[in-house]
Structures are given as C-alpha cells and as structure tokens.
C-alpha cells in the first residue's frame, strides 16, 4: 500500500533566533533543505517543533511559511489538550493551506478512552482535512487503545493514519491487520522503523531524517522491496543517529538543533526550558555526520543531494 503522505515525513524542528523569536529565513531554509534531502512531507509544530512554547499566532506563522516554501504534504500539529482550543487552531491550519492535521493525544489531563473518542471525534468533524492521530504515551500519559482507534475509524472517514510512538511492537502486529485498507500506520520512533515496516507500517515520522532523510528513503525502499539484507545493513548504519537524536542529557530536539547548526542550515537556538546545544554536542554532531556520510556511501547512498 502506498503511503498516503509519502514514506518519510520529518517532524520539523522550529528555527529560532538568538532572541528566541521565530527565524523566518531559517524556517524556509530548513523546510527546503528537508524536502531536497529525502523528506516526502513535513510535520510542523509537533513536539520536535517545540509546540509547547509556541503561541497560536506563531503556529499559524510557521504553517504559512512552510506551506509557501515547499511543494509537499504539510501536516499541522494543530491540537492541544484542550478540545475547544484545538478546533480554533485547526481553522487556522485550514486557512493557511495545510494538507492535514496531526492530532496528539491530550496530555497532562489524561482523559479516559471515552474522552479520547469525544476529543478526536470533534477534531475530525471540525475539518475536511485528513487527520493523523499521534499516540505517544511517554509524553501524554495516555495511550490510544486499539478499540478506541477502531471506533474512531468507524465514525470518521477523514481519520486516515496514526503515528505510533507507543513503542509497542506486538500491538502494532495486531493493529495493522485490523485497520488494513482503512488507515495507515506511521512509525513514530526511528529506532523501531525496521520492525514496524515488517508488521505493516507504511513509513516513518522521523527526527533523524533532518540529516539522514536519504538514508531513511533507502531503508524503506529496501524493506518494502524485499531486500532484507540491505535494509538490515542500512538500519545498522542509522543506529548511531537514533542514539544521537535524544538522550536524558540532551533530549529531542536539542541534538537536531546541534546538527542543523553544524550543517549551517539554521541556527541551533531553542526556547526555554530547553537549552541551546553546547559545543560538545555540536562536535558530536559533526563526527556523527561524517561517519554517516562515509558509511552510507559504501551502500551507494548519498547523505545529501548535491
């Protein structure tokens, strides 16, 4: 089954200036860089985009900038843990031309499954855009259970996908069979892409695709094409990127900002309570990038389009 939004989506970071304001030139540069180097689509103002520190006006600004900069699917992270607030943001996303909505599980207030059905149902009813649900219990404290997702699919034809960052590979094996032909699963954890593809996922919403998008494309192509040995080799090459993209010391998206600063695509500034990447992390990014470039070259894969 062809991936509705393409197999490699990037959860795009948000470029800020030293003053903490949105760097509009950096946003455009980053969006174009990603599309030129392996991203089939972009997810804007998700958790990697530091959505928790963005105002509604800034979200709209980012969706508009990215929509104008690139010709690919742009999914707007347009929901919060407040249903009414989410509906207002969705209207903004529609007005600036977003191609879809990424709808995250309400965080902190931890609603029951019946509350999730009501919340996501209201979102689906409020828009004609396709909706991708985002299941990430490590950040939200609540998972989208399989019966909940199935119930939503029965009632809302524009819920077309789920970004699964639950880490539960066994559940995916069951879920993919139950939703085949009705919705698609995107892996929400780079390190689990291989097992997810083998169990029916169509692609990935990635962080490391900021710098390894063409590597992810090659991995998906090999896995889907049945070349398991090549897919395994490519995955091994990408493992250091999985380890780099987030850690207890430097959680996502700080390492991404370090890598983008190293590549000169945009500045590495974040918003508090995150920290700007220190020089040691930028040095780690430089080393990782050089090793990744050389190892992918051995597989006939360029790291960037030149």
Q: pLDDT, tens digit, for every residue of 9-33?
A: 999 999 999 999 999 999 999 999 9
| pLDDT for res 304 | 83
How close are the terminal C-alpha atoms of the chain, in Å? 30
Annotated binding site: 48, 205
Model confidence band, residue 274 (pLDDT cutoffs 50, 70, 90): very high
SS (H, E, C) 237-278: HHHHHHHHCCCCCCCCCHHHHHHHHHHCCCCCECCCCCCCCC
Pairing of strands 131-135, 100-104: parallel
Say what angle helices 113-125 and 83-95 make with each other, to 10 degrees: 30
Is 163 assigned a catalytic role? yes
For range 145-161, the mean pLDDT: 97
| pLDDT for res 303 | 87
| pLDDT for res 7 | 97
In tens, the pLDDT along 176-189 reads: 999 988 999 999 99
Which stretch of 1-5, 60-64, 234-238 has the lowest confidence by average pLDDT? 1-5
Question: Which residues, 6 or more positions from 53, have their beta carbon under 8 angstroms from its beta carbon?
Answer: 271, 272
DSSP 169-234: HHHHHHHHHHHTTT-EEEES-GGGHHHHHHTT--EEEESTHHHHHHHHHHHHHHHHTT-HHHHHHH
Annotated binding site for pyruvate: 48, 205
| pLDDT for res 49 | 97
Catalytic residue among 91, 107, 163, 287: 163
Q: What angle do CA 97, 70, 253 make, to 5 degrees?
A: 95
| pLDDT for res 107 | 93
Number of domains making up the chain = 1
Whether residue 176 lies inside any domain: the answer is yes
- Give the residue among 204, 103, 121 at the shortest CA–CA distance from 157: 121
Please tell me the pTM assigned to this model: 0.96
| pLDDT for res 306 | 59
Q: What is the CATH number of the domain that holds 98?
A: 3.20.20.70
For range 208-230, the mean pLDDT: 97
Model confidence band, residue 305 (pLDDT cutoffs 50, 70, 90): confident
Strand partners, 163: 134, 186
For range 108-126, the mean pLDDT: 97
Catalytic residue among 108, 134, 242, 289: 134
Whether residue 130 lies inside any domain: the answer is yes
| pLDDT for res 35 | 98
Whether residue 248 lies inside any domain: the answer is no
| Domain span including residue 124 | 8-227
Whether residue 304 lies inside any domain: the answer is no
For range 122-133, the mean pLDDT: 98
CA 175 to chain centre: 20
| Contact (Cβ atoms closer than 8 angstroms) between residue 10 and residue 74 | no
Whether residue 38 lies inside any domain: the answer is yes
138, 140, 252 from 81: Cα distances, Å: 15, 9, 21
In tens, the pLDDT along 74-98 reads: 999 999 999 999 999 999 999 999 9
Does the pLDDT of residue 214 top 70, yes or no? yes
Does the pLDDT of residue 118 top 90, yes or no? yes
Whether residue 175 lies inside any domain: the answer is yes
As a whole number of angstroms, the distance between CA 295 and CA 199 comes to 27
Does the pLDDT of residue 236 top 80, yes or no? yes
Does the pLDDT of residue 241 top 90, yes or no? yes
Token readout for 186 is: 């995107």
Whether residue 250 lies inside any domain: the answer is no
Q: Is residue 74 exposed (0-12), middle (13-18) or buried (19+ Cβ within 10 Å)?
A: buried
């Amino acid at each position: 089954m062809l991936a509705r939004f393409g197999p490699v989506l990037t959860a795009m970071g948000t470029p800020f200036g030293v003053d903490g304001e949105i760097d509009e030139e950096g946003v455009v540069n980053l969006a174009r860089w990603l599309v030129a180097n392996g991203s089939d689509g972009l997810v804007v103002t998700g958790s990697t985009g530091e959505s928790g520190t963005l105002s509604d006006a800034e979200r709209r600004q980012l969706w508009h900038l990215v929509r104008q900069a690139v010709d690919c699917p742009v999914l707007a992270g347009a929901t919060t843990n407040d249903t009414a607030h989410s509906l207002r943001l969705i209207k903004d996303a529609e007005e600036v031309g977003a191609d879809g909505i990424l709808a995250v599980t309400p965080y902190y207030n931890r609603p029951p499954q019946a509350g999730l059905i009501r919340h996501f149902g209201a979102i689906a009813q409020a828009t004609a855009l396709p909706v991708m649900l985002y299941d990430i219990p490590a950040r939200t404290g609540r998972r989208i259970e399989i019966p909940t997702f199935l119930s939503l699919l029965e009632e809302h034809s524009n819920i077309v996908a789920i970004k699964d960052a639950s880490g539960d590979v066994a559940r995916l094996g069951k879920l993919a069979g139950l939703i085949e032909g009705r919705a698609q699963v995107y892996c929400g954890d780079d390190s689990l892409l291989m097992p997810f593809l083998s169990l029916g996922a169509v692609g990935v919403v990635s962080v490391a695709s900021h710098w390894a998008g063409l590597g992810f494309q090659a991995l998906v192509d090999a896995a889907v094409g049945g070349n398991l040995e090549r897919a395994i080799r490519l995955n091994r090459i990408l493992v250091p990127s999985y380890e780099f993209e987030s850690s207890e010391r430097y959680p996502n998206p700080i390492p991404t900002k370090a890598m983008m600063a190293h590549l000169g695509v945009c500045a590495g500034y974040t918003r508090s309570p995150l920290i700007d990447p220190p020089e040691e992390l930028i040095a780690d990014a430089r080393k990782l990038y050089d090793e990744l470039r050389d190892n992918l070259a051995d597989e006939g894969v360029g790291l960037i389009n030149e």
